[in-house]
Amino acid sequence: MILYIFVAAASVLLGLLVNNCCRVQPNCVTRQQMLNGLCLSAVFLLLFGVSACRLNVGNDYAKYVEFMHLVNCDAFVPTEFGFNQVVKLLYGISGFENYLLVFAFFAFFTILFFLYGIYRQADSFPFSFFLFMALGYYFQSFNTVRYYLALAIAVLAIPCVLQRKWMKFLLLVCFGATMHKSILVIFPLYILASLPWKKWQLFLAAAFCSTFFFMQDFYLKAVIALYPTYEDTEYLEGGTSLVNIARCGAVLILALLCYKKTVKESRRNRFYFYCNLGALVMYVCCSFLPIISRIGYYLTITHIFFLPALIAGIENEKYRKLVRAGVIFAGVSYFAVFILMKAGNDGLRILPYETFMFHDMVPILSDVN
């Protein structure tokens, strides 16, 4: 626990020194650019080192070790093609079942894509990166490694939607789907969020969402068809929480208060607004679906960009500072609850932290050779 608090605090403090809005001088590297490079490198190495050196941290860690073993034995596994090929490649290079290298590979690219995406898209890198850490995205990547790599790719895909670079968007989504097919949901969701919705369209969308209340069996069967390994497991118990609903609700209230000046005339902020609204509707109407939380994360990840943009648009300096302080307090409180009450629970289990340097390797239980 102390390690996680230190990592979060140290990386956020280093992030405070990064200014992603500084002008790029042709044929010249400014002092701020050098500082940005040093701080971002330090943040990356810190986050990557802790993630790559972990052993049996995360509820799915041992399951991934078994899957990798089965992949190496050419047995059937429910994981995607891209993941399987990465395992075969890294095991072939190592000459043995080096699952530590596979986890390090996923940690490397997940952290790299998140940092790059935040740096390129955030109005304020320090604020957006603070929200990224406080909301637990980094630490949760210790558990579902394929999903969080896909989520990081989704962050990279957001500018493609806003700039209407559809071919690049399609390629990123297809690439992400080779790691975790859940990313395919952003193809319709991000496109819908980028549209200029009219009142009658919102009415039709609301009517469609109402079907989730009386067609639950149909939608559950559709999910099981996509994820057959979820059948008769704890994953079918539903996947949302009041915390997710409250978080989206709070962002929605702030967005409505700032709508005319900050959201209405900005295509980017309207996209974030509809992503948050879509996530809220999902959490309220589709709580019976086992993977709704993961689908929702593809939408709520935009909070790390949307909240700083909303706050920056508040003209009254006193109110702006007050709201910023409130968001920071809420973020710190969320992180404290996450670390103290959720991190060690079954389903996540990223505490206690263990490393291969001081603990025994995870045994392979499968008898497949």
Do 85 and 211 lie in one domain? The reply is no
- Among residues 5, 12, 82, which one has the least CA distance to residue 43? 12
Instruction: Find where tokens 């230190």 sit.
Output: 6
Q: Which two tokens stand for residue 194?
A: 């980028």
One pLDDT digit (tens) per residue for the chain, 369 residues: 899 999 999 999 999 999 988 766 667 778 888 999 999 999 999 999 999 999 999 988 999 999 999 999 988 888 899 999 999 999 999 998 999 999 999 999 999 999 999 999 999 999 999 999 999 999 999 999 999 999 999 999 999 999 999 999 999 999 999 999 999 999 999 999 998 877 777 777 777 777 777 777 777 777 677 666 666 555 555 556 788 899 999 999 999 999 988 998 899 999 999 999 999 988 888 777 767 878 899 999 999 999 999 999 998 999 999 999 999 999 999 999 999 988 888 778 899 999 988 777 777 666 666
What is the 3-state composition of the chain as percent helix, strand, coil, each rounded to the nearest 5? 70, 0, 30
Name residue 54's beta-bridge partners: 355
Q: Is residue 365 part of a domain?
A: no
- Assess contact for 146 and 80: CB atoms under 8 A: yes
- Among residues 71, 99, 95, 93, which one has the least CA distance to residue 84? 71
Q: What's the pTM?
A: 0.92
- Rama region for 164: left / alpha / beta (φ>0; ψ in -120 to 50; rest): left
Q: Is residue 189 part of a domain?
A: no
- Assess contact for 223 and 290: CB atoms under 8 A: yes
Do 4 and 151 lie in one domain? The reply is yes
| Domain end point (choices 263, 293, 313) | 313
Query: What does the CA dihedral 154, 186, 80, 289 come to, rounded to 10 degrees?
Result: 120
Query: H or E stretch including 14?
Result: helix 2-15
Do 69 and 141 lie in one domain? The reply is yes
Cα separation, 187 vs 183, in Å, equals: 8
Which amino acid, 360? D
Helices 317-337 & 242-257, crossing angle to 10 degrees? Answer: 170
Cβ-based burial of 265 (10 A; exposed 0-12, middle 13-18, buried ≥19): exposed
pLDDT at residue 235, as a whole number: 55
- Among residues 68, 135, 141, which one has the least CA distance to residue 111? 141
Q: Is residue 357 part of a domain?
A: no
Do 144 and 286 lie in one domain? The reply is no
Q: Is residue 62 part of a domain?
A: yes
pLDDT at residue 293, as a whole number: 79
Do 289 and 147 lie in one domain? The reply is no
| Domain end point (choices 313, 337, 360) | 313
Do 154 and 10 lie in one domain? The reply is yes
pLDDT at residue 312, as a whole number: 93
Q: Is residue 45 part of a domain?
A: yes
Do 152 and 200 lie in one domain? The reply is no
Distances (CA, A) of 109 to 51, 106, 255, 361: 11, 5, 32, 23
Cβ atoms within 10 Å of 322's Cβ, excluding its own: 13
- Assess contact for 210 and 286: CB atoms under 8 A: no
Do 306 and 325 lie in one domain? The reply is no
pLDDT at residue 286, as a whole number: 77
Do 24 and 160 lie in one domain? The reply is yes
- Which domain does 212 fall in, by range? 195-313
Instruction: Find where tokens 């002008």 sit.
Output: 23
Q: Is residue 83 part of a domain?
A: yes
Do 75 and 134 lie in one domain? The reply is yes
Q: Is residue 363 part of a domain?
A: no
Cα separation, 202 vs 272, in Å, equals: 16
Listed in order, strand segments (DSSP E) in 173-316 are none
Please give the tally of structural domains in the chain.
2
Q: Is residue 367 part of a domain?
A: no
Cβ atoms within 10 Å of 203's Cβ, excluding its own: 10
Instruction: Find where tokens 């099981």 sit.
Output: 224
Instruction: Find where tokens 């193809």 sit.
Output: 187
Which amino acid, 145? V
Distances (CA, A) of 211 to 23, 215, 273, 285, 337: 50, 6, 23, 9, 34
Do 264 and 137 lie in one domain? The reply is no
Cα separation, 75 vs 369, in Å, equals: 9
- Among residues 170, 133, 152, which one has the least CA distance to residue 8? 133
Do 206 and 289 lie in one domain? The reply is yes
Q: Which two tokens stand for residue 19?
A: 């200014």
Cα separation, 106 vs 141, in Å, equals: 9
- Assess contact for 299 and 276: CB atoms under 8 A: yes
